[in-house]
Amino acid sequence: MNISPIALKIWAVHNTTSRITTRKSFHDTWKTEDEFLAMMRDIPNIDDVVHELSVAVDDMDWMDGAVCCFDADFPVINESAPKGDRPYLLFYKGDLSLLSDLNRNVAVIGYTTPNEDIIARESKIVDRLVQRGQHIVSGLAKGCDAIGHTVCMDCGGKTIAILPSPLDAISPAAHREMAHRIVEEGGLVISEYYNGPRSRHEAINRYVERDRLQALFAKAVVLIASYEGSDGDSGSRHAMGKAHSYGHLACAMYDETTDSEVLEMKLNRSLLSQQKARQLVTNPSEVGSAGYTSLTVEDLVSLVNPALEAQQKLF
């Protein structure tokens, strides 16, 4: 089990006290490890709790470790992200080093029921990204997420799945084997959660929270396809909105000649029209042809966001 003493202590405090209420309050209150440890001295019997947890984790074979914001191997967080969006404790299974260079990570997202045409187009994009050394980030959901993970692995690449659930209760349950394959083939499965939701509202909100991590842990978010609003919002808008607000690249697969009236491309069209995303094209001759700001897969591969480089690390 790979978990530092300070990560174990944060976990123990969160699990047994009310000292940690929100991500924002955590980062506002404790900016250094020493400040957090000083607070712990006021908690009765906390050392016993930490010891009990340290013994218990040895039997938690559903994870390989946990990492906190005070650890050297915690992923870089773009300083433009508000404190309420910044995680402070992550649980993982697999290769954590895949979060050590976020400029190799591209999130691929979309709705849950893509047709054969959408699947083929997404597969082509993922294949080209993987062949050029990119890691694919997604949320293990049905549809576009699962296709992104699977095509990445089929092409010999490494993929990162970010969960809205604990690692020992994979959601959706139908994708447990996929999560296992991701780890077995050198990828990473990661979550902020170590227990289940206490209400339906919390369960729903965890999907939204998961979406922001997809944007945080990738230099770019690629929207494959999605409905919008009353037509059947897939939730992809959350990750796209966060990417745009952080200053990470938000881009959408879109072909004006075939997609202009397609309902499943409504969110793509909307974001492109509002200039909240750039059009991702697979043929360089299509760049700028539809009047949208566009880029190729090769442009995406060569992109480097300075805010995600190691020297910018906050902690």
Query: 3-state DSSP call for residue 289?
Result: coil
Distance CA 24, CA 104 (A): 28
The DSSP letter of residue 274 is T
What digits encode the pLDDT tens for the residues 162-192? Answer: 999 999 999 999 999 999 999 999 999 999 9
Residue 305 above 90 pLDDT? yes
Is residue 78 within 8 Å of residue 307, measured between CB atoms?
Answer: yes
Is residue 92 within 8 Å of residue 181, measured between CB atoms?
Answer: no
Distance CA 18, CA 67 (A): 21
Residue 44 above 70 pLDDT? yes
The amino acid that residue 188 corresponds to is L
The residue-averaged pLDDT of 236-256 equals 96
Q: Which domains does the chain have, with CATH numbers?
A: 2-94 (no CATH), 97-310 (3.40.50.450)
Cα end-to-end distance, the chain, whole Å: 23
Per-residue pLDDT, 233: 63
What digits encode the pLDDT tens for the residues 123-137? Answer: 999 999 999 999 999
